[in-house]
Amino acid sequence: MKKDQYVLLKTMTWARDSHGLFDYESKNIQKKNIRANCSGKLIRISNEVQFLSEKIDTNHVDDRSNLAHISLAKGQYSISPFDENQPLWLALRVTKSNEDSKCYNLNEGSIIKLGRVKFKISALHTSSFEPLTFIQGSSENFLPEESVCRICLCDSNDQENPLISPCICKGTMKHIHVQCLQKWVSSKFSTKTGPNSEIFCWKSMDCELCKSPYPASVQVGRRVYAIFTSGDIQTPYCMIESMSRDSNNHRMLYLVSFKNKCSITMGRGHDSDLRVSDISVSRMHAMIRYVNGKFILEDNSSKFGTLVMLQEPKKVEAEDEFVMQIGRTVFEVSIKSGIRGDASIDEDF
């Protein structure tokens, strides 16, 4: 990276503080350009965003919100969360120089947010020959021979159908066969079939005794066993897990099959393939497309945005441009040339 290059942050802050949301349709926005060519921190005081060098102590600054770190190491800029409890989000919005910035290639483990509703992409499968196994879940070794399954009351324990302990129940209720649990889970799902997709939906996937949630999969030795599965699902498909509970204290889990066409819609509207009943979610909020073996998340000009959680520092590359969000502040990030000194600020765009 050239010595005269700097990070340009076009910041926008929504004046209203509402569930950490940013209203992309509001005109009540405070804007500021920030230029930085050193390591430092991005903070917000009231509605004003400021960039401060690492040399400056901000502990004495009252009513500040810490937003992000900007790091410069070996000529490479990167942006990371200030606090692990306050993640940074990649906002899927079109920038002037990057039409593709409204799309994101999903990976297993991606965490997305529609309005204020969070989901985790638990699994992605493209081939009918792939076993339905997931990376999450707890590791279990084979259990003692005297253990019995609380459903079938048998003590058999082998690699095809091991006894596991998937919840926090104790005593005689602690153990259950993988296949017994799979059968119980499979009796709990509902199916929604549309012109574009087929969706298998589970809710109340908690132990009926101890009320702890069952994992999507468990590992016994080197083998992973799927708990949530359906023999009728067609590839390609993805598994989407709600990270919050609804008004009935249910945590939703969706197996989404791209049956006929290569896209599904997500939103609050009744005609959405995957319906999300939350006021912060637009009627036709976002879509997931399946293209060339990839699952691509795309925003549909939603009011409160479609976001993807940043799980590692985001490098700022030359000729790259993207949009980040933390709470009610959004900033467009790019690399520019022609600055001396630590930082400078332009009040307006």
pLDDT digits (tens, 9 = 90+) for 214-263: 887 788 888 888 787 665 677 888 889 888 766 666 678 888 888 777 89
Enumerate residues 6+ apart whose C-beta is below 8 A from 36.
Answer: 6, 7, 9, 51, 70, 342, 343
**Of 32, 29, 20, whose CA–CA distance to 86 is shortest?**
20
What is the structure's pLDDT at 349?
47
Beta bridge partners of 213: 206
- In this structure, the number of other CB atoms found within 10 A of the CB of residue 9 comes to 23
Going by pLDDT thresholds of 50, 70 and 90, the confidence category of residue 194 is low
Sheet of strand 286-291: strand arrangement: 103-105, 294-299, 286-291, 263-267, 274-275
Confidence check: pLDDT of 191 > 80? no
pTM of model > 0.95: no
Q: How many residues does the chain have?
A: 349
Which of these ranges, 10-14, 140-144, 154-158, has the smallest mean pLDDT?
140-144
